Amino acid sequence: MTLEEYLHQKYKPSTIETLLYNITNYQKHITNHQTAQLKDILRYIKILREQDKKPKNIHGILYAIKVYYNYLQQSKKRKDHPCKKLQLQDKIDKSIRTEKLYSTKELDYYLEQTKSYKKLMVSLLVYQGLTVKEITTLQVHQINIEKAEITLTSRELPLNAKQIYLLLEYLKNKDKKPTDLLFTTRTKKPYRTREINDYINFGRNENLKITPLKIRQSLIKNLLETNDIRVVQVFAGHKKSSTTQQYKTTQFEELKAKITLLHPLQ
């Protein structure tokens, strides 16, 4: 039984994709992965921490490694499980660091510096704050050019005037049906959610790269500066207002952020 066959017996396709990605990366770093011991796995986790991987990602990677050794045990390729009881102490910080988000001007500059063939996708991140899942599953019929609006599962959002031109240019030489995905790869395959970040940031200077999540979070924060929280909640598609509230900065936090920029505390 191969690893892929084992995974297909136990997990859904979207989970299998992530597991294989993390297991493959682990195998590339640990050459003796099939016979690796706990110290080897801890060494790999140390590398991940040094790369500033988020605790949530590290937990996910460790889970994939555990799955890999479960497979080796069940396929009789290994008797023991080197990290079955390993629990990480990395705390997952779910708070939103609003002081590290981007202003409207910075987001506009990011869009301006985007290559023309990527601008429509990036504009939907910058102006409507779509999630990567919404980007990868967006179909042509969900965009109404005449009404200048986009219809999503949980909300309807207005399109920016600039986006109408981008849409017309994007669709001009594409033979797309209403039920077709709006965005596909060059080989006309659907994008995977984890591919969007690399796609929109490829070719940019390191200091000018912004993840899709940070773009969305920044937009929500900026909207809260001039709009009622309930309006922004609907715009963002949040089920609870408390989720939207996390993006609202207090005057004290804004002052603290400005002071830190002028006089960084060691």
186-241 confidence digits (pLDDT tens): 999 999 998 999 999 999 998 899 999 999 999 999 999 899 999 999 999 999 99
Q: How far apart are CA 170 and CA 176, in angstroms?
A: 11
Residues of the chain with pLDDT > 70: what percent?
Answer: 91
Confidence of residue 52 (pLDDT cuts 50, 70, 90): confident
pLDDT one-digit tens code per residue, 177-201: 999 999 999 999 999 998 999 999 9
3-state secondary structure of 103: coil
Helices 104-112 and 119-126, interaxial angle, to 10°?
170
**Integer CA distances (angstroms), 201 to 51, 56, 188, 196, 216, in order:** 19, 22, 20, 8, 15
- Considering only CA atoms, which of 115, 119, 136 is closest in space to residue 189? 136
Q: What was the pLDDT predicted at 90?
A: 64
Mean pLDDT, rounded, for 117-136: 96
Phi, psi of 208 (to 5 degrees): -110, 5
Rounded to 10 degrees, the C-alpha dihedral 204/207/209/210 comes to -160
Confidence of residue 265 (pLDDT cuts 50, 70, 90): very low
Q: What was the pLDDT predicted at 258?
A: 46
C-beta of residue 102 within 8 angstroms of C-beta of residue 218: yes
Instruction: Identify residue 192 by its one-letter amino acid code.
Output: R
C-beta of residue 32 within 8 angstroms of C-beta of residue 40: yes
Whether the per-residue pLDDT at 109 is higher than 80: the answer is yes
Phi, psi of 71 (to 5 degrees): -65, -45
Whether the per-residue pLDDT at 259 is higher than 70: the answer is no
Whether the per-residue pLDDT at 249 is higher than 70: the answer is no
**266 vs 172, more confident:** 172
Confidence of residue 51 (pLDDT cuts 50, 70, 90): confident
Confidence of residue 119 (pLDDT cuts 50, 70, 90): very high
Q: What is the mean pLDDT of the chain?
A: 89
C-beta of residue 143 within 8 angstroms of C-beta of residue 179: no
- The CA-based diameter of the chain, rounded to the nearest angstrom, is 64
What pTM did the predictor assign?
0.65
Q: What was the pLDDT predicted at 157?
A: 96
Whether the per-residue pLDDT at 167 is higher than 90: the answer is yes
Q: How far apart are CA 212 and CA 196, in angstroms?
A: 8
Confidence of residue 248 (pLDDT cuts 50, 70, 90): confident
Q: What was the pLDDT predicted at 173?
A: 81
Here the tokens at position 223 are 């909207």
Task: Please state the length of the chain.
Answer: 266
Q: What was the pLDDT predicted at 91?
A: 62
Place of tokens 């460790």: 62
Here the tokens at position 224 are 């809260």
